[in-house]
């Protein structure tokens, strides 16, 4: 129930406070006075964007605040927008809220039955939802739950099939690349280790080469250094026998002979292994193989080893995905079977409810002034849900007069007829816990006896539910438990919309104005008030 509505600096309303009561609350006023501003302020409160022109023209913020009573608990909603920054804030019980949260609350707080809302009746997708309002919610919840499960499974199946297609297309290449890697069988960090070992062996090979040269110099058959030293020694020895002055050279030549012999011994005894040379050749060959593999795959050795593991995982993943796919397909069959069962149950409920609802709607429409030949029904058609699974969906069809064919609402129902059909649907649902009902021009296109019948229906509905009604008819306004008048006034050089709650003579004056004024208007106003008293 909407208890209080405060509007500040919104469009033409500078300040307004409307305290609503239980039962029927009526808002009246001349065309263009600003009755729609009140409804727009509620739209703004519940998160709808508004044109900047509707924001107040002074520095004060624009705000709309409402107090609702829901399940014996007061809920205070407020939305304000700065005239300077144009930013808005939403408050729920004095705490910052969001548009999503306030929209959730809206479903529990108000039903806004404007002419736009009534146009829903021309859309077939809305007709099925009318039936579903009378179906146990656990059936619908189970249907949506199963559909969501099925959707998730189908999405996963699609992902797996795409992955399998992709993996299978690359399987031959992956297997070839794995064979190439396994043929070389590189080990982690092997190229770095081989490079270091190669440098060590290269040093050893260099030493071996120089030793070989030294030994050739010392022991060459053609020109051996040792032989030359021995020959030179003998020559100095022969000279010293003749000339003693060469004896000291003979001692020195002995030293040279010994040094040459020592060098020869050292070179011969140096540990040079032919295996090291072979190992160096093997290392060079291994490094060449690894480098060729790196060039072919355009990756480092670490990347190649990682790649091998990834390729192996991709290949093994094919089996994993195939197994998961098989399980999902089995689950899909089970869920589709479960869905068929719940859809069969739902279809049966819809058909039964449609038959019962048609009879009740027909009675309500007769009470609302339709001709006796009126008939209303639900025409079912199959709507595809999943592959070979369909559900029955409904379309309301109307026969306004005997002797005519049933036709869809959007082809034959006028705006006034739609408003009464909508009111009939609301009345049928009135045994449920409904939020505040806001009727905007539900009386459009009707008059006379029909208007009286609509009034009685609204009055009966208001016994159980709070109604806010915007109307131009005094016959309806006179039924109000609480009556508000919206009036446009010029204050100085500014036009303002004023909202006022009426009492006593004020109500009589407003009803008289609505009835056309003058003596005739006063008489009708007096008559209506006496009848309702």
3-state SS, residue 340 = helix
- Count the Cβ atoms, other than its own, within 10 Å of residue 492: 6
| pLDDT score of 346 | 95
Query: CA gyration radius for the chain?
Result: 50
| pLDDT score of 74 | 92
What residues does 2 pair with on adjacent strands?
Answer: 68
| pLDDT score of 115 | 63
Burial string for 397-418 (b: 16+ CB within 10 Å, else e) reads bbbbeeeeeeeebeeebeebbb
Residue 477 and residue 26 in contact, taking contact as beta carbons nearer than 8 Å: yes
pLDDT, tens only, 242-276: 888 888 888 888 888 888 888 888 877 776 655 66
Q: What is the 3-state secondary structure (H, E, C) of 123-167?
A: CHHHHHHHHHCCCCHHHHHHHHHHHHHHHHHHHHHHHHHHHHHHH
**Strand arrangement, sheet containing 467-470:** 110-113, 436-440, 467-470, 24-28, 482-491, 494-501
What residues does 75 pair with on adjacent strands?
Answer: 68
pLDDT, tens only, 144-172: 999 999 999 999 999 999 988 888 887 78
Dist CA 447 CA 452 (whole Å): 8
What residues does 498 pair with on adjacent strands?
Answer: 487
| pLDDT score of 512 | 93
Strand segments, DSSP code E, in 238-291 are none
Give me 258's structure tokens: 């010994």
The whole-model pTM stands at 0.65
| pLDDT score of 50 | 76
Residues in the chain, pLDDT under 70 = 53, 56-58, 113-118, 271-276, 415-416, 430-433, 441, 445
| pLDDT score of 92 | 93
| pLDDT score of 152 | 94
């Amino acid at each position: 129930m909407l208890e209080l509505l405060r509007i500040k600096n919104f469009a033409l309303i500078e300040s307004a406070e409307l305290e609503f009561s239980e039962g029927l609350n009526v808002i009246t006023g001349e065309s263009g006075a600003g009755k729609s501003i009140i409804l727009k302020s509620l739209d703004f409160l519940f998160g709808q964007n508004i044109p900047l022109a509707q924001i107040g023209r002074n520095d004060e913020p624009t705000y709309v605040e409402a107090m609702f009573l829901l399940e014996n608990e007061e809920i205070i909603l407020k939305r304000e927008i700065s005239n300077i920054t144009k930013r808005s804030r939403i408050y729920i019980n004095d705490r910052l809220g969001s548009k999503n949260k306030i929209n959730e609350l809206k479903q529990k707080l108000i039903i806004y039955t404007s002419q736009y809302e009534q146009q829903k009746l021309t859309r077939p997708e809305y007709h099925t939802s009318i039936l579903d309002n009378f179906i146990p919610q656990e059936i619908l919840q189970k249907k949506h739950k199963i559909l969501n499960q099925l959707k998730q499974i189908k999405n996963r199946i699609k992902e797996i099939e795409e992955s399998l297609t992709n993996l299978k297309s690359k399987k031959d290449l992956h297997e070839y690349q794995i064979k190439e890697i396994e043929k070389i069988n590189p080990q982690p960090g092997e190229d770095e280790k081989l490079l270091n070992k190669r440098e060590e062996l290269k040093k050893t090979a260099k030493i071996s080469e120089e030793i070989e040269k030294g030994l050739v110099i010392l022991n060459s058959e053609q020109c051996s250094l040792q032989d030359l030293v021995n020959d030179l020694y003998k020559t100095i020895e022969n000279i010293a026998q003749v000339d003693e002055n060469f004896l000291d050279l003979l001692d020195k030549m002995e030293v040279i002979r010994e040094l040459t012999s020592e060098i020869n011994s050292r070179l011969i005894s140096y540990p040079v292994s032919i295996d090291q040379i072979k190992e160096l050749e093997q290392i060079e060959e291994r490094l060449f193989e690894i480098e060729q593999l790196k060039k072919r795959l355009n990756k480092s050795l670490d990347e190649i080893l990682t790649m091998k593991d990834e390729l192996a995982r991709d290949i093994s993943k094919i089996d994993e995905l195939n197994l998961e796919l098989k399980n999902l397909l089995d689950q899909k069959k089970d869920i589709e079977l479960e869905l068929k069962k719940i859809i069969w149950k739902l279809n049966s409920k819809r058909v039964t409810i449609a038959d019962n609802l048609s009879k009740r709607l027909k009675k309500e429409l007769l009470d609302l002034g339709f001709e006796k030949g009126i008939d209303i029904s639900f025409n079912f058609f199959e709507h595809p849900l999943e592959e070979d699974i369909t559900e029955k969906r409904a379309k309301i069809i109307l026969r306004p007069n005997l002797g005519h064919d049933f036709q869809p609402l959007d082809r034959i129902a006028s705006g006034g007829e739609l408003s009464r059909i909508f009111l009939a649907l609301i009345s049928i649902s009135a045994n449920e816990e409904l939020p505040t009902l806001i009727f905007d021009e539900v009386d459009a296109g009707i008059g006379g006896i029909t208007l009286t019948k609509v009034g009685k229906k609204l009055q009966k509905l208001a016994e159980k539910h709070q109604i806010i009604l915007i109307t131009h008819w005094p016959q309806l306004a006179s039924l109000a438990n609480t009556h508000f008048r919206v009036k446009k006034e010029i204050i100085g050089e500014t036009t303002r919309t004023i909202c006022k709650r009426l009492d006593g003579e004020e109500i009589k004056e407003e009803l008289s104005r609505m009835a056309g004024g003058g003596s005739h208007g006063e008489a009708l106003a007096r008559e209506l008030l006496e009848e309702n008293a």
